[in-house]
Amino acid sequence: MRRKIVAGNWKMNLTFQQARELALRLNTWVKAHKPIAEIIVAPPHLYLEQINKDLRNSTITVASQNVSAMPNGAFTGDVSAEQLLSIGTKISIVGHSERRAYHYEQDKYIGKKITHLYEHGMSPILCVGEKLEDREQGKHFDVVEEQVTIALERQDPENLKKNLIVAYEPVWAIGTGKTATPDQAQEMHAFIRKTIGNQHGLSVANRTTILYGGSVNAGNARDLFEQYDIDGALVGGASLNLDDFTTIISARK
Ligand code: PGA
């Protein structure tokens, strides 16, 4: 089922104390305001266990920012799906453009991460999005189609049907203050849904939750959420500020 989700990607920000405080203040707000949107926060790995405990009685879901493509073994510094699950984490972002850019992650490898998550009954948030030069050269649809198709090609359609979240995050809009216009975002979201439909059938496509990410803020969220194929947002910078993040959450009607 398409879900209304607002997710906060905290990236490599906040000390342990600051992260706990933000999570607790957000939880207090959620209890008081009972928003329509489901809320996800993705703190650094190091804090997942404690924040999971802090939010134990909360409706907020705690996600990981990344997961290994390997099941276990000699992979120094990596964290596996099984390990994440063992501390109560059930969702992971995969294929974020910062992982693609700084850690050279590629679509097939990202697909393996998704497979491991599904093997453990967990959910992926698959990030895709073109670079500025791709858009300028008119290649943005081809680039995103390839990212989606390769990452999902070996997945079991039953898993996809139950549990697939995609985030369209144009690289040129991430952390730049430059958001895609609602029309540009809608056009790509509809294209992603069509691509998934061509590959796995309409029953998967119509159940896929597609989030927009890239400089979402308190001022632009509402217009984005009015678009038919935009189910919610993956928010970076603005998720670190409680007022901004809760304004975005409230905009998801
Ligand atoms: P931003 O980041 O909201 O700071 O642009 C979004 C993301 O990278 O998920």
Per-residue pLDDT in tens (0 to 9) along the chain, 253 residues: 899 999 999 999 999 999 999 999 999 999 999 999 999 999 999 999 999 999 999 999 999 999 999 999 999 999 999 999 999 999 999 999 999 999 999 999 999 999 999 999 999 999 999 999 999 999 999 999 999 999 999 999 999 999 999 999 999 999 898 889 999 999 999 999 999 999 999 999 999 999 999 999 999 999 999 999 999 999 999 999 999 999 999 999 9
Ligand 1: centre distance to CA 95 (Å) = 13
Q: Tokens 């073994």 belong to which residue?
A: 73
Ligand 1: centre distance to CA 215 (Å) = 6
| Residue 178: predicted pLDDT | 86
Q: Tokens 């070996």 belong to which residue?
A: 154
Q: Could you tell which of 5, 6, 9 is best to mutate to test the pocket of ligand 1, judged by most ligand atoms within 8 Å of the CB?
A: 9
What residue segments make up the domains of the chain, in order of their start? 5-251
**Residue 49: which residues within 8 A CB-CB, separation 6 or more?**
87, 88
> What fold is seen in the domain 5-251?
TIM Barrel (3.20.20)
Ligand 1: centre distance to CA 116 (Å) = 25
For residue 8 and ligand 1, the question of a CB distance below 6 A is answered with: no
Question: Residue 218: what are its φ and ψ, rounded to 5°?
Answer: -60, -25
Residue whose CA is at the smallest distance from ligand 1 atom 3? 236
Residue 145 and residue 152 in contact, taking contact as beta carbons nearer than 8 Å = no
Burial of 230 (0-12, 13-18, 19+ CB in 10 A): buried
> Which ligand 1 atom is the nearest neighbour of the CA of 215?
5
> Which ligand 1 atom is the nearest neighbour of the CA of 176?
5
For residue 151 and ligand 1, the question of a CB distance below 6 A is answered with: no
Task: Please state the pTM of the whole predicted model.
Answer: 0.97
For residue 214 and ligand 1, the question of a CB distance below 6 A is answered with: yes
For residue 175 and ligand 1, the question of a CB distance below 6 A is answered with: yes
> Which ligand 1 atom is the nearest neighbour of the CA of 93?
9
Structure tokens at 163: 């549990």
